[in-house]
Amino acid sequence: MFDQDFVAILPEIFLINASIILLMYGVFCRSRFIIRNIAWLGLLSIIVTLLLHVNNVCTTANLFYNNLILDNFTFYCKMFLLLSTASVILMCLDYFKQENVYAFESIILILFSTCSMLLMISAYDLITMYLAIELQSLCFYVIAASQRNSEFSTEAGLKYFLLGAFSSGILLFGCSLLYGFTGVTNYEELAKIMLSFSSSNTPGMLAVAILFIAVGFLFKITAVPFHMWAPDVYEGSPTYVTAFFSIAPKIAILANMLRIFVFSLYDPTWQQLFFFSSAASMIVGALAAMSQNKIKRLLAYSSIGHIGYICIGFCCGTLEGIASLLIALFIYICMTINVFAAILSLRKNTFKYIGDLGGLSRTNPVLAITLAITMFSYAGIPPLAGFCSKFYLFFAALGSGLGLLAFIGVVTSVISCFYYIRFVKIMYFDTAWILFEPMDREKSLILGITLLLILFFFLYPSPLFLITHQMALRLCF
């Protein structure tokens, strides 16, 4: 009876098998330089997974006794996740060679966590969701600490593990409260039960359960009251791991959050929570990044700020809100891939501070202009892609009566401009400091593609708007 189901999850099955085969290949083939080989094969398997996913015959289904779901929403989210994972692997290929990283397991772990994120996107049950999150987090704890000879990396791994395990515990407690109160774990059943309460008489226990689940998720997406680990982990982990952390899990966890909060637990309780955390994230992201000197810490705070913007869409809970969230997410991911590709290509062991970018416009003018444009786009200056995401988010916020949030967003986006254009200032007006080596072909490919997207998204944005609208529709109805 599971025939159809196994066909439907063929991409996941393939990815799991491919990673196991790669693991065995790595174990049996003892060479010091196996990692690039494995990375290329891993990239290949991601691409094959993507192809399998796109050509999947089964696009809309509930699988395995309603434990997993496939629909339009998961289709695009997974596609996007696979694309961003592929680009992360592509951009760290050169890093392995230059930095003498021999631990091929990190690639395998990236593949495993990708697989878990695929499952997370299509999770349709509290248990599936939790298991998928845990698989992903476990992989992440390991790769955060993968550089064993660096104190920063081990410390980052430890911090990430402690706080991640803590947040998972909170999430799990929320799930068990929910189960204990309602007796179901399936999203669809939960949605039916939630329907029976009107917005005013949500029982207190249920609100507590929702609160715990929301807090667990906010931990995972580094929203503000629970963001403490992000800057340390981002700074300590090896750069390619930071890139992966700040790109891939955001898609998966936000997709899952949308599914659980908008579809099954639609309730005003969490809206206030997200309202607060969104406003706080924007403010902290804008103000705290101002005083950062290290580039990865700054990007961590900037990603906190962007999560704040993205959460604006979440607070609305309307169709536009969800669509704007997805648009902002996609554009944010695109810009972040670009930034990390640029930073990874500035490879020098000493490269840590923003000031080290000084005079980049003279030593590497093309990279300088790329980074400058991405920073302007992060800041939301028209006509770059970042503007499109912000304007639609603010529109959605005004549309659902969250004028205050839109106002805070607007003010913080001006404040955050200050440190984004500091990059431009340092690259263009300061004197040269470090001479970087030229980047490899893979990274320049990624940089080129994402830069084109950032620059010319404005000219023809309707496909993304249509797709996200479809996804939002699928989620709400």
Q: How many of the chain's residues bind other proteins (CB under 8 A)?
A: 29
Assess contact for 475 and 259: CB atoms under 8 A: yes
CA–CA separation, 103 and 26 (whole Å): 10
CA–CA separation, 317 and 321 (whole Å): 6
Site for other proteins in 30-69 (CB under 8 A): none
**Closer to other proteins by Cβ: residue 28 or 460:** 460
Residue from 173, 181, 353, 395 in contact with other proteins (CB under 8 A) = 395
CA–CA separation, 463 and 449 (whole Å): 17
Q: Does 394 bind other proteins (CB under 8 A)?
A: yes
Q: Spell 75-109 as b/e; 16+ CB within 10 A means b.
A: bbbbebbbbbbbbbbbbbbbbbeeeebebbbbbbb
Assess contact for 146 and 153: CB atoms under 8 A: yes
* Smallest distance, other proteins to C-beta of residue 469, A: 8
Q: Does 473 bind other proteins (CB under 8 A)?
A: no
Using the contact rule CB under 8 A, the part of the chain among 46-54, 181-189, 236-244, 408-416 near other proteins is 408-416
Best CA proximity match to 132, nearest among 224, 16, 38: 16
Residue from 163, 417, 434, 445 in contact with other proteins (CB under 8 A) = 417
Q: Enumerate residues 6+ apart whose C-beta is below 8 A from 415.
A: 286, 287, 290
**Closer to other proteins by Cβ: residue 21 or 414:** 414
Q: Does 465 bind other proteins (CB under 8 A)?
A: yes
Q: Does 103 bind other proteins (CB under 8 A)?
A: no
The first and second tokens of residue 373, run together, are 């444009």
Q: Does 407 bind other proteins (CB under 8 A)?
A: yes
**Closer to other proteins by Cβ: residue 195 or 466:** 466
CA–CA separation, 281 and 306 (whole Å): 8
The first and second tokens of residue 145, run together, are 């600490």
Best CA proximity match to 83, nearest among 39, 56, 53: 53
Residue from 349, 350, 431, 462 in contact with other proteins (CB under 8 A) = 462
CA–CA separation, 438 and 352 (whole Å): 18
* Smallest distance, other proteins to C-beta of residue 467, A: 12
Using the contact rule CB under 8 A, the part of the chain among 6-14, 62-70, 143-151, 389-397 near other proteins is 389-397
Best CA proximity match to 314, nearest among 388, 260, 377: 260
**Closer to other proteins by Cβ: residue 344 or 397:** 397
Residue from 444, 461, 474, 476 in contact with other proteins (CB under 8 A) = 461
Q: Does 448 bind other proteins (CB under 8 A)?
A: no
Using the contact rule CB under 8 A, the part of the chain among 229-237, 244-252, 302-310, 405-413 near other proteins is 405-413
Q: Does 433 bind other proteins (CB under 8 A)?
A: no
Q: Spell 122-143 as b/e; 16+ CB within 10 A means b.
A: bbbbbebbbbbbbbbbbbbbbb
Q: Does 243 bind other proteins (CB under 8 A)?
A: no
Residue from 103, 207, 410, 455 in contact with other proteins (CB under 8 A) = 410
Q: Does 327 bind other proteins (CB under 8 A)?
A: no
Using the contact rule CB under 8 A, the part of the chain among 117-125, 284-292, 327-335, 394-402 near other proteins is 394-402
Using the contact rule CB under 8 A, the part of the chain among 151-159, 175-183, 220-228, 409-417 near other proteins is 409-417
* Smallest distance, other proteins to C-beta of residue 462, A: 6
DSSP 304: H
> Side chain identity at 269, as an amino acid letter?
T
CA–CA separation, 219 and 168 (whole Å): 9
Q: Enumerate residues 6+ apart whose C-beta is below 8 A from 394.
A: 312, 406, 409, 410
Q: Which residues bind other proteins (CB under 8 A)?
A: 376, 381-383, 387, 391, 394-395, 398-399, 406-407, 410-411, 413-414, 417-418, 421, 424-425, 428-429, 458, 460-462, 465-466
